[in-house]
A and B are shown apart, each in its own frame.
Chain A
């Protein structure tokens, strides 16, 4: 038996961390990016391959409705509306800019307030630009540990781990 389940997943992160690039790498079906600057959100859709539910015969195919939220600071007051009903979120950092690892609480806290049961995955993007990312990785690992959430280092440029991070989100949903 196979079911298709739609899930709303938000892309969180400050300006320039590579959220849109990750989505662009993962999906092809998306709205014009001009909406990002107009109303602060771009919607994309991607269907995962079917995932088996435990040892059962049941397969679930997740359809991710990706809400790429831009200018979180600019649209601060209305961002909570966009968070509503989200089943999961990718919190994206730019490994080349350590300051991005410090400011996540400004959007993650309201997100989790709005969706306390939502699943989180932390992403350290632009790994291809870091020669020895030990320090950044340690920090990313710490943050993820705080939220008991998985993390990935990715590169939207090379595609490294991009598909994996989305599959992982599907895995978390199916285990839930």
Chain B
């Protein structure tokens, strides 16, 4: 268009539109701007952002169902795609919001459940008395819930004991696992202030105390006493009955420190021991995880494991026990069979079905004895004698022990009182035995003892019907006196002891000890008779002093009768007449003796 034409058109527009030209131009500019915004994504978002949220909210409020129906296909598809494409980004974006929400929600649900269970447990008296399964049934809660309530973590972190009126900290203890970085004095002051604030601000009519403050996963439990209160910082769920224990702690502290708390003026010296009470509560509280290590309860699979082990043991026992018992019985039989042998150094044991003997004996004869005894035992299928023969002479004590074992079979016999005197490889048998057969057997058994080459059997026969050999023995124990004296020689004392030893071991009360006095040094018959009487009585008293009863003694004086020598010159020969002799007599003989 020529320049002049354009100018003409502009003039015409001006005539037609007048002042609306500016408005049109503005409109065109705005249109241009809108167009550019629509095409520019960033600009479009920033434009719609302020209004879209309000618009959506209004729309949703007005017609929720319509909006849901309209958006559902798009939203679900968009969300699906977004999650598929950028899963991690979505999780990161949602975590701060949803994570917190879920955590809170789950935590609250758990708490509600545990409170419910705990309150039911509190009302019942079955806690700890019955197995969980039974308790759950009685309480009407699922066992799983009961298990959860009992196994939720619970820790006491800190305990404050605070003076109720001033807020001054009386005592503060911390669990080993917990850390306390804040000044406890300030905490106790602030807790007191908060208590006062809450008490005044919210409970003007009812003077109820603040009982707990919750923050995050922790909680401050407050137990208000007469003069002080306990603030206990805990984590986790407080178990059933814990509040009661806390109350008891407060009561206990007030009971022990009542006077000190009542008169408290800020001086903590009289209250220092309270720390121990609080620590004891932490460490001996059965509910806490920070309590001193408790005996661990076996886990269920441990029970199964234990059951399997027991089953295996039972199976093994079923197969192995009867043979074992059989063998043990056989072993006892072996032990008793060898009891009479000198088994000091010989051990017996089984190697499978073979009986083995190991050790040392002092003679080949003894080794052969082991062979013959072993083979005589029924049930022994095989025997191996690994016993060695020692060339070393046996000890005296070993010989005596073997003699005792060999002759033990006679120990219960009456009038069996042998004495075995060992001198190296020689044994002298003395004392008495009831008859000649036993005397021979004893001699034989002693001769079997390892290392014995010579046996002298001087034992005499003694029984109620045969006292002669005993009397012959006693005659050797005649006590001699000084001439004209009623006292025997001092060197005769050992004879008195021997008589006592011999007589006191006799088994029969019917046998009496006859004490006969003699004197042949006076010309006067009666003087000799009196002297012999006194000598017999003197010996009788000496016997009595050594516990021979008076009833057992028969004292007889013979005077000058039965002299062993007719000389009266105080020579060694004439002294034989100054004597007291011993004899055994039975009751009947006693009567006869009395008549002499």
A-to-B contact residues, CB < 8 Å: 3-8, 29-31, 35, 39-41, 43-45, 62-63, 65, 67, 77-78, 81-82, 84-87
Contact = CB atoms under 8 A, between A and B. Distances in A.
Given A29-B183, A63-B185, A81-B199, A6 B168 contact: yes
Contacts of A4: 268
8 contacts: A7-B168, A40-B197, A41-B190, A65-B166, A65-B189, A81-B197, A81-B200, A87-B265
Interface residues of B, number: 23
A84 B197 contact: no
B197 A65 contact: no
B186 A85 contact: no
Contacts of B190: 31, 35, 41, 43
B200 A65 contact: no
B62 to A, nearest CB: 41
B68 interface: no
A5 B266 contact: yes
Contacts of B166: 6, 8, 65, 84-87
A41 B200 CA distance: 14
Contacts of B269: 3
Nearest to B201: A78
A85 B165 contact: yes
Given A40-B197, A85-B168, 10 more contacts: A6-B185, A6-B266, A6-B268, A8-B168, A8-B189, A39-B194, A43-B190, A77-B200, A81-B196, A86-B166
Nearest to A45: B185
A67 B165 CA distance: 13
Interface of B: 163, 165-169, 183, 185-186, 189-190, 193-194, 196-197, 199-201, 265-269
A6 B265 CA distance: 8
A43 B193 contact: yes
A57 B175 CA distance: 37
Listed from nearest, the 9 A-B pairs whose CB atoms lie closest are: A85-B165, A85-B166, A78-B200, A43-B189, A81-B196, A8-B166, A6-B266, A6-B168, A5-B266
A56 to B, nearest CB: 16
B186 A45 contact: yes
Given A43-B190, A78-B201, A81-B199, A65 B183 contact: no
A4 B268 CA distance: 7
A39 B167 contact: no
B536 to A, nearest CB: 93
Contacts of A5: 265-268
A65 to B, nearest CB: 5
A146 to B, nearest CB: 26
A135 B559 CA distance: 147
A85 B163 CA distance: 9
A45 B268 CA distance: 16
